[in-house]
Structure 1
Amino acid sequence: MQLPERTHLGATEHAPSDNCPSTGSVHRLRDAWWRLMDMRIGIVPLPVHILLALALIATAVTGKLSAELSPIIALLAICSFTCMEIGQRIPVFRSIGGPVILVTFLPSYLVFTQALPPAVVKPIVEFWKAGNFLYLFIPAIIVGSILSMDRKVLIAGFLRMFVPLAVGSVVAGVVGTAVGTMLGMGVFHTVFFVVLPVMSGGLGEGVIPLTLGYSEVLHHPAGELLAQAMPAVMIGNVTAIVFSGVLNAIGKRYPSLTGNGQLMRSGNDGLPEGAKSSAPMDVTDIAAAGMIAVCLYFVGTLAQNTLGLPGPVVMLVLAVAAKVFFVFSPRLEQGAGVVYKFFATAVTYPLLFAIGVVITPWQKIISSFNVPTVVTIVATVATLMATAFFTARRMKMYPIDAAIVVGTHSGMGGTGDVAILTAANRMRLMPFAQIATRIGGAITITLSLIVLARIV
């Protein structure tokens, strides 16, 4: 190939041909550089990762690292994707959700030991408290995955998933209580401070209102009761992450057991109806889908503030109704799918790193590790997910995906759902996970307080 003529300082000259040795060397160097650029740490090109890491270190050393959006994006991306890559390269560990565990809990340990300097921790904490970024991530994931989901699968999945959720919760409650009692913790403590907190729906929407209810009934300080119940939620979340990673590995070995993010079989392999449309999609459709997610979040927040209804559940119901009744065009549904994929790919691990820094206290995790409590929690979560696995087969659902969804019932609310589904590489199940977490947790709390009021 001959390069075009070029003019330099008034003189006309010809570029050397590709056959020229110097030009061939330039092309080889260019190709080598491009190959290096295509090597990535997470989603970040390797040279960019190195340069950005050096720039962040220099900024942190000078004390100039701020909580503004751009520096925080850079900081969380570099830290989280580095941890993710390490976790993916540890044999066995990577198959049980290692990347997620490392990204979530290593920063917690580094904060505890002060290995992560205050100049780095402070802007992350300030950003988290000011931006509440989790409530942008979850709407984007929920709305995006629902609108891009097959309509028949969505309806059938929502109707059928309550069976493995209910059966699994009951059986897990019985088994967990039996194990804790045999290990000497007593029936009352096992039920109300280990088993039920595991399935209460997380922290803010789960164990905190649960222990406030306990406080009213038992006339004990809520803080003391919360300290007893919180370890169960944390260990339950870690256990569900590990089991979800194991189920993901099993699904790769036995593909017939999993829909890789689908609960039910679909005639069009789970593609949304809009994917069949020939209507072109452009960037405005993606932006419009993002605004739809924000709009539904605000409506859910309004319902929570005025009617006392759980905001995420309202948002979820509205998104499902919009999908079922053909509210949005195929182009917008495709745009929602892109929004979902972007957040699932680019935002999940940085968000988990921030969660590890801000709201995962290492001291409480370690203090909760005593043998009877850990064994009881592991038995509860294992029974919950195993029961869902076998029940799902009778319901003509994919057993692995159903078990993972029900496993989120033992997580730490929205943050737990993110971690568990990421470990299983099934973020598309987020709508069903929210049902398991929010509605399953609400039912657990309500029944727990009714029973406690009757026996005290």
Structure 2
Amino acid sequence: MKQTETKTLVQKIAQLKIGFIPLPIYLLLVAVYFLLTLGKIMPNDMLGALGIMTLFSFILEEIGKHIPVLNSLGGKVLVVTFLPSYLVYKSWLPESSIKTVTDFMSNNNFLNFFIALLIVGSICSMNRKTLIKASSRIILILIICDIVGALVGTGVGMLLGLPAWQAYFFVVAPIMAGGVGEGALPLSIGYAGFIATKQPDVFASILPCVMLGSLIAVICAGILRKLGEMKPELTGNGRLIDEDDEHLDNLKGAKVDVDIEKMLITGVLAIALYLFGVWVNSTIHLPAPIVLLVAVMGAKMLGWIPNDIQNGGNSLYTLTVKGITPPLLFGVGVAMTPWKSLVTVFTHVPMILTIFATVVAIVLTAFITSKILGLYPVDTAIAVSCCSGQGGTGALAILAAGDRMSLMPFAQVAVRLGGAMTVTFAIFLMGILT
């Protein structure tokens, strides 16, 4: 009898999972991690980094799922992304782990690899009619949101005592500039050419606004996801437009037959298009992810993508979201989210409220205008809110919090196009006013 009970207990334990990982395998990973860390022999390579990122990300995600209230506001994403940043700041993570993950994230461009797979996977398997109808509308909504966000953010900043100059150029514009590398950095370079402040100092002053804007957008995405659960008529659960004749099985929760060969073919297509984008970037300085996005969207709209690749896109999308997203978020938190920059802005209440007003104005504008234009408000607002995020890393966190990773192509439009418009206009306007 005791032997039977023991066997049943072992079976129950074996069925427990951390994320998608069976508990016995996860405990093996934990044991090996401690042995390597205590022995100071943690390998500083891809396998070492992926092991660390997998170990921490899925347990942090489980913690985030079970925190009351926070779990309804994108809690698992907040915990997986921002808690590691705090742990690094407090030096509570082993130095070898920090170095291994940071080196991997900095030297291997893993974020762009993820975005390439996700964009190609989601677009290839996306409803062609939806893509055609939604693209023009999402661009119109984005333009309206940029205008409203700038006016509301600057207005609120002025009401709270900030000069209009500071409110727009140093708070609002950085939020909508498309992240750090392609937003805050070119803004700081452009500003430094017109004002008597060095570029590094300008960059340091606007970076906290970008970080906090992204955090608020993540929370808004979590609220929108909850709203979609409460009012199903407001959401397409990963779709922008309702199409009855064609749909994505993997976005509706149905089981998808996985064809490894088709998935690999789609993955090779993603890599090839990204490398093509790198070549184009070297010629006309257009970012590689934009080239990839335009190429695969164009091919899909023209009906040039074969059925095999479309089916492979389903599998590639599912693999990327379930297997890569949590570890990548942890890597972003460790290597790309400086906690010190994030908390700097918390000491300045008018700035906090200005950032909050800007992001909320963008989200509400997207929600309202999408309803008028016949798009699902929840999904559209989540996608467009990525324009106020931390670039690619922000879009990843925002979509993960909203459980809408299939919207990455539209999020990239919001980030890249919205950011380019904001950077160009802000530098042009400063040039006129100085």
Shorter-chain-normalised TM-score: which range? Answer: over 0.9
Secondary structure (helix, strand or coil) at the match of 1:368 reads helix
The amino acid of 1:315's aligned partner reads L
In structure 2, the partner of 1:64 is 41
Q: Residues 176-225 of structure 1: CA distance to partner in whole angstroms, max 9, x if unpaired?
A: 11111111111100000001110000000111001111111224211111
Alpha-carbon deviation of 1:271?
2.7
Distance in 2 separating the partners of 1:270 and 1:172: 33
Of 120, 136, 139 in structure 2, the residue corresponding to residue 159 of structure 1 is 136
Distance in 2 separating the partners of 1:197 and 1:69: 33
Which deviates the most, 308-317 or 434-443? 308-317
Contact 2:72 2:222 in 1 (8 A): yes
Alpha-carbon deviation of 1:67?
2.1
Contact 2:259 2:315 in 1 (8 A): no
Work out whether 1:303 is the aligned partner of 2:303: no
Secondary structure (helix, strand or coil) at the match of 2:194 reads helix
Secondary structure (helix, strand or coil) at the match of 2:84 reads helix
In structure 2, the partner of 1:245 is 222
Pick closer, same or farther for the CA change 1:30–1:335 going to 2, 3 Å: farther
Work out whether 1:378 is the aligned partner of 2:356: yes
Distance in 1 separating the partners of 2:274 and 2:260: 22
Alpha-carbon deviation of 1:112?
1.1
Work out whether 1:75 is the aligned partner of 2:63: no
The amino acid of 1:323's aligned partner reads K
Alpha-carbon deviation of 1:311?
1.5
Contact 1:215 1:225 in 2 (8 A): yes
Contact 1:344 1:427 in 2 (8 A): yes
Identity among equivalent pairs (%): 37
Distance in 2 separating the partners of 1:155 and 1:348: 27
Work out whether 1:393 is the aligned partner of 2:374: no
Q: Residues 211-254 of structure 1: CA distance to partner in whole angstroms, max 9, x if unpaired?
A: 11111122421111111111110000000000000000010000
In structure 1, the partner of 2:296 is 319
Contact 1:281 1:331 in 2 (8 A): no
Work out whether 1:449 is the aligned partner of 2:424: no
Distance in 2 separating the partners of 1:210 and 1:345: 35
Work out whether 1:422 is the aligned partner of 2:422: no
Which deviates the most, 35-44 or 165-174? 35-44
Pick closer, same or farther for the CA change 1:332–1:34 going to 2, 3 Å: farther
Secondary structure (helix, strand or coil) at the match of 1:220 reads coil
Pick closer, same or farther for the CA change 1:282–1:96 going to 2, 3 Å: closer
TM-score (structure 1 length as normaliser) = 0.91
Q: Can you give the 5+ residue segments of structure 2 that lack an aligned partner in the other structure?
A: none
In structure 1, the partner of 2:64 is 87
Alpha-carbon deviation of 1:129?
2.3
Q: Residues 418-452 of structure 1: CA distance to partner in whole angstroms, max 9, x if unpaired?
A: 00000000000000000000011001111111111
Distance in 2 separating the partners of 1:302 and 1:40: 43
Q: Residues 137-186 of structure 1: CA distance to partner in whole angstroms, max 9, x if unpaired?
A: 00000010000000000111111111221112111111111111111111
The amino acid of 1:372's aligned partner reads P
Work out whether 1:350 is the aligned partner of 2:336: no
In structure 2, the partner of 1:203 is 180
Contact 2:217 2:359 in 1 (8 A): yes
CA radius of gyration, larger in: 1
Alpha-carbon deviation of 1:327?
2.4
Q: How does 1:27-42 map to 2 (within 5 A)?
A: 32-42=9-19
In structure 2, the partner of 1:340 is 317
In structure 1, the partner of 2:415 is 437
In structure 2, the partner of 1:174 is 151
In structure 2, the partner of 1:263 is 240
Work out whether 1:129 is the aligned partner of 2:106: yes
The amino acid of 1:373's aligned partner reads M
Contact 1:153 1:270 in 2 (8 A): no
Distance in 1 separating the partners of 2:197 and 2:299: 45
